[in-house]
């Protein structure tokens, strides 16, 4: 059983789940300094990749914050319907102790191929994973407009100016 976000990330990688890391972890991998306790990923919204990822996180004890049964969470068509009907932006899966907290940003999945093409490959513990480019992170942070985003934006823009 995984005990940390790094363990969960490695498990997703090792089972060939298709995703791009975004959010605070991606900002940190580019050189930002904010500490974050969740992993934000943009998944490829295909039935096979989605179900494998949900199965893996479920096997680690992570459950969605929304009160829905596993069958509906596994169903990528249901997720797409929630996006259309309810404006779903992300599906969060979290263990009760908070050790694993993964946000799957489904609203960003429409341009998954473009996002991945612009992403940077980063090696973590011998595994190559895709991390959203600084430009993509800046766009997402500006769009989200949350309280923690101005600090991330400042750091990302400083990193970009040094490149």
The CATH number of the domain holding residue 106 is: 3.30.460.40
Mean pLDDT value of segment 135-145: 89
Per the domain annotation, does 155 fall within a domain? no
Q: What is the number of domains present in the chain?
A: 1
Q: Is residue 134, in this structure, part of any structural domain at all?
A: yes
Is it the case that residue 145 has pLDDT exceeding 60?
Answer: yes
Residue-wise pLDDT for 13-39, tens only, equals 999 999 999 988 898 898 888 777 789
Provide the 3-class DSSP secondary structure of residue 124: strand
Residue 157: inside a domain: no
Asked whether residue 82 is domain-assigned, the answer is yes
Instruction: Name which residue leads in pLDDT, 150 or 127.
Output: 127
Q: In this predicted structure, what is the pLDDT of residue 1?
A: 38
DSSP SS3 for 48: helix
Residue 163 lies in a domain: no
- State pLDDT tens for residues 112-132: 999 999 999 999 989 999 999
Task: Note down the domain range covering 9.
Answer: 5-145
**Residues 38-63, mean pLDDT to the nearest whole number:** 91
Handedness of CA 45, 24, 5, 58 (dihedral sign): negative
Spatial contact of 5 and 100, defined as CB atoms under 8 Å apart: yes
What pLDDT, on a 0 to 100 scale, did the predictor assign at position 162? Answer: 87
Burial 22-32 (b: 16+ CB within 10 A, else e): bbbbbbbbbeb
Residue at 73 is within a domain:
yes
Q: Do the domain assignments include residue 162? A: no
Q: What's the average model confidence in pLDDT over 71-77?
A: 93
Q: Does residue 151 lie in a domain region?
A: no
Q: How confident is the model at residue 48 (pLDDT cuts 50, 70, 90)?
A: confident
């Amino acid at each position: 059983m995984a005990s940390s976000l790094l363990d969960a990330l490695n498990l997703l990688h090792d089972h060939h789940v298709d995703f791009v890391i975004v959010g605070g972890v991606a900002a940190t991998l580019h050189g930002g300094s904010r500490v974050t306790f969740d992993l934000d990923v943009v998944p490829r919204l295909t039935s096979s990749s989605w179900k494998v990822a949900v199965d893996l996180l479920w096997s680690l004890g992570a459950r969605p914050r929304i009160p829905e049964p596993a069958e509906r969470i596994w169903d990528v068509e249901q997720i797409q319907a929630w996006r259309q009907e309810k404006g779903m932006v992300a599906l969060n899966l979290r263990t009760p102790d908070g050790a694993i907290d993964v946000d799957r940003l489904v609203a960003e999945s429409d341009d998954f191929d473009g996002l991945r093409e612009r992403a940077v490959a980063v090696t973590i513990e011998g595994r190559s994973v895709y991390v959203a480019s600084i430009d993509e992170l800046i766009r997402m942070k500006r769009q989200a407009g949350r309280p923690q985003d101005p600090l991330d934006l400042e750091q990302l823009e400083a990193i970009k100016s040094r490149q």
